[in-house]
């Protein structure tokens, strides 16, 4: 993954997008945090699946 | 004894056939007619396309599974439907042409009492000059639509990485190959997996990766986008899609109809009517879909295809096909029972049914070129619809023609989608999304069209773990292993 400094150019196509900071990117692969998200996402998905059947 | 024929053994057809057989038992027949000998868990073809899985990991032979279930399996393609029979008999039947089982090329007539069209899409590569001929992919681009295509795509991709390692800058172009494609999600997964693999291979700085699609905004995905709660805001999927593309250094061309593909180059037209060209060393462009080309004939043998099928080749069902302009569209336009309006013993499920119209807003260039995503039918809705149709037919068989039909409108069901952004047990990520409902209902949910409490998305390692688990779970379910019915569609 590239860093903001390398990928975003002033007034280029991606200048007005929302780009994650290092903090956000860290938590995407932080094992402890993602284990918690794994449980919560599964709960949310099961609820949506149940509503759909 | 009634006979149900299911044409197509993909996600929807296989679900319909296996549940129907379970509910009907040995009292009635279930026949599956499908041209492939293998079942394919299509969502994982992406990983085959980047060399992270083998073809054998995403497919398995159907014959032993159907034999175990007591389903009559014909490895054949369905060719025509004769709902009034012929001059000799009033009994409705289909004609099939074998593609395997030692009978390649042989034709046969199969009578039916109930018929499910679950034939999926025709991969219409021929719709774009240079993309391919008919359903055959051309030589300029690759595909991940089938497991075999994906195997070839990976071989080509590795050659690109080798050239990049040798110091030759490479251009990769991923997206949709026509103004009316669907499956933007699959292309989305592929582009980010390629980017992830390029990083792993140490060649990311020598590879320029670009996106091209028919979406009017990134994150449309053929469903008009979605909104998710973020920090107290209802945030559009456009924000998150653009964020990911920017983060990964992938520029995009959107609102594009790819009009021609040549060796190393595509030509395209944009929504504003301007045209452009884009060069590539490696390109994966999703083809547009159509119905597989089934024909229908009346008792005298005269063509009546347009009675049963829409012009795009998908089967008409209980949808409102005269909804008119976008401003008049309603959630109730979408089918509920998937029963053909002319023949009550005929149903369509999965990609094979004709949607009433798009989900995304129709758009075209000043030249009149339609450039808008067509509606996706992903795995979860396809499975749910297949199961509902099977349930309806079983009710009709057991209770008679006045039996209650089961309903599964895409405007009243959600979908859980997991879009991989790179594979790796501790380094992979995926966007885990739920959308409720799939087809927006602007009357029930004014403004956004969806229930914000049940529509969400986030990117992370957890999503990747979920996608990997779903891979194993749905293959287990499709193989009818113990407890398979407990796994929801």
| Total domain count, chain A | 1
Q: Which of residues 222-251 of B touch A (CB under 8 A)?
A: 239-240, 242-243, 245-249, 251
Q: Best interface-test mutation with A: which of B210, B241, B247 has the largest number of A CBs within 10 A?
A: B247
Residues B139-169 pLDDT 10s:
999 999 999 999 999 999 999 999 999 999 9
With contacts defined as CB-CB under 8 Å, which chain B residues touch A43?
A: none
End-to-end distance of chain B based on CA atoms, in angstroms?
Answer: 29
Is B3-123+289-399 a domain of CATH 3.50.50.100? yes
Both tokens assigned to A49? 């699946």
Please indicate whether, in this complex, the C-beta atoms of B488 and A48 are within 8 angstroms of each other: no
What kind and span of H or E run contains B252? Answer: strand B252-253
Distance from CA of A13 to the nearest CA of B (A): 7
Mean pLDDT of chain A: 87
C-alpha distance from B62 to closest chain A C-alpha (Å): 26
| B187 at interface of A, judged by CB pairs closer than 8 A | no
pLDDT 10s digits, A12-49? 888 888 888 889 999 999 999 999 999 999 999 999 98
- Do B252 and A28 lie within an 8 Å CB cutoff? no
Subunit contact B242:A52, Cβ cutoff 8 A? no
Q: What is the mean pLDDT of chain B?
A: 96
The residue-averaged pLDDT of B201-205 equals 97
The yes-or-no verdict on residue A1 having pLDDT over 80 is no
The pLDDT value recorded for residue A10 is 87
Residue of B416, B458, B467 to mutate for A, most A C-beta atoms under 10 A:
B416
Q: Long-range CB contacts (< 8 A, 24+ apart) of B391-398?
A: B391/B19, B391/B23, B392/B337, B392/B339, B392/B347, B393/B4, B393/B20, B393/B114, B393/B116, B393/B347, B394/B20, B394/B23, B394/B24, B396/B114, B396/B345, B397/B2, B397/B4, B397/B24, B397/B28, B397/B113, B397/B114
pLDDT of residue A3: 64
B217 touches B271 (CB < 8 A): no
- Answer yes or no: do B462 and A41 touch at CB < 8 A: yes
Top-confidence residue, A3 or B472: B472
Q: What percent of chain B has pLDDT over 70?
A: 100
Residue B487 contacts A where some CB pair is shorter than 8 Å: no
Q: Is A48 within 8 Å of B454 when comparing Cβ atoms? A: yes
Cβ–Cβ gap A53/B429 under 8 Å:
no
What was the pLDDT predicted at A13?
87
Q: What pLDDT does residue B125 have?
A: 97
pLDDT in tens, B303-335: 999 999 999 999 999 999 999 999 999 999 999
Q: Region B364-381: what's the mean pLDDT?
A: 96
Listed by number, the residues of chain A in 1-53 with a beta carbon closer than 8 Å to a beta carbon of chain B are: 1-2, 4, 6-8, 13-14, 17-20, 25, 27-31, 33-35, 37-38, 41-42, 44-45, 47-53
B242-285 pLDDT, tens digit per residue, is 999 999 999 999 999 999 999 999 999 999 999 999 999 999 99
- The larger pLDDT score, comparing residue A4 to residue B39, is at B39
Kindly indicate the confidence band of residue A2, based on its pLDDT and cuts at 50, 70 and 90.
low
Percent of chain B with pLDDT over 90: 98
- Say if the Cβ atoms of B247 and A2 lie within 8 Å: yes
ipTM, two decimals, is 0.91
pLDDT by residue (tens digit) across B388-445? 999 999 999 999 999 999 999 999 999 999 999 998 999 999 999 999 999 999 999 9
Domain range for A19 is: 4-52
Q: Do A41 and B199 touch (CB under 8 A)?
A: no
């Amino acid at each position: 993954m590239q860093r903001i400094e390398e990928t975003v150019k002033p007034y280029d196509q991606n200048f007005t997008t929302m780009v994650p900071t290092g903090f956000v990117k860290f938590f995407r692969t932080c094992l402890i945090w993602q284990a918690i998200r794994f449980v919560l996402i599964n709960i949310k998905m099961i609820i949506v699946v149940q509503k759909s059947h | 004894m009634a006979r149900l024929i299911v044409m197509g053994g993909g996600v929807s057809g296989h679900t319909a056939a296996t549940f129907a057989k379970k509910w009907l038992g040995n009292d009635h027949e279930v026949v599956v007619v499908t041209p492939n000998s293998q079942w394919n868990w299509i969502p994982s073809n992406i990983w085959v396309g980047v060399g992270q899985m083998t073809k054998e990991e995403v497919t398995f032979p159907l014959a032993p599974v159907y034999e175990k279930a007591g389903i009559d399996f014909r490895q054949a393609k369905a060719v025509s439907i004769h709902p009034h029979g012929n001059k000799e008999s009033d009994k409705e039947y289909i004609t099939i042409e074998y593609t395997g089982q030692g009978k390649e090329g042989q034709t046969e007539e199969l009578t039916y009492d109930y018929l499910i069209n679950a034939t999926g899409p025709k991969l219409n590569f021929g719709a774009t000059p240079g993309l391919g001929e008919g359903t055959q992919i051309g030589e300029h681009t690759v595909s991940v639509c089938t497991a075999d295509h994906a195997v070839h795509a990976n071989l080509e991709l590795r050659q690109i990485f080798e050239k990049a390692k040798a110091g030759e800058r490479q251009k990769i172009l991923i997206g949709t190959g026509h103004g009316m494609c669907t499956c933007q999600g699959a292309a989305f997964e592929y582009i980010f997996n390629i980017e992830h693999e390029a990083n792993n291979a140490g060649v990311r700085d020598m590879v320029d990766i670009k996106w091209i699609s028919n979406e009017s905004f990134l994150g449309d995905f053929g469903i008009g986008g979605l909104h998710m709660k973020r920090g107290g805001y209802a945030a559009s999927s456009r924000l998150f899609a653009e964020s990911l593309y920017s983060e990964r250094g992938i520029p995009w061309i959107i609102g594009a109809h790819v009009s021609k593909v040549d060796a190393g180059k595509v030509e395209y037209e944009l929504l504003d009517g301007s045209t452009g060209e884009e060069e590539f060393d490696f390109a994966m462009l999703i083809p547009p879909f159509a119905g597989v080309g089934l024909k229908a004939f009346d008792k005298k043998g005269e063509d009546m295809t347009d009675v049963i099928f829409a012009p795009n080749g998908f089967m008409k069902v209980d949808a409102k096909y005269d909804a008119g302009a976008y401003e008049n569209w309603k959630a109730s336009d979408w089918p509920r029972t998937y029963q053909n309006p002319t023949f009550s013993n005929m149903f369509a499920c999965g990609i094979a049914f004709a949607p009433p119209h798009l989900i995304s807003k129709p758009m075209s260039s000043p030249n009149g070129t339609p450039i808008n995503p067509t509606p996706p039918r992903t795995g979860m809705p396809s499975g749910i619809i297949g199961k509902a149709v099977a349930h309806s037919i079983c009710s009709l068989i057991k209770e008679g023609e006045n039996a209650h039909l089961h309903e599964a409108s895409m405007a009243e069901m959600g979908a859980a989608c997991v879009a991989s952004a790179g594979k790796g047990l501790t380094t992979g990520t995926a966007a885990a999304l739920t959308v409720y409902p799939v087809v927006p209902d602007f009357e029930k949910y004014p403004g956004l069209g969806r229930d914000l409490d049940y529509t969400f998305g986030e990117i992370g390692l957890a999503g990747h773990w979920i996608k990997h688990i779903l891979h194993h779970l749905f293959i287990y379910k499709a193989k009818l292993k113990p407890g398979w019915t407990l796994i929801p569609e």
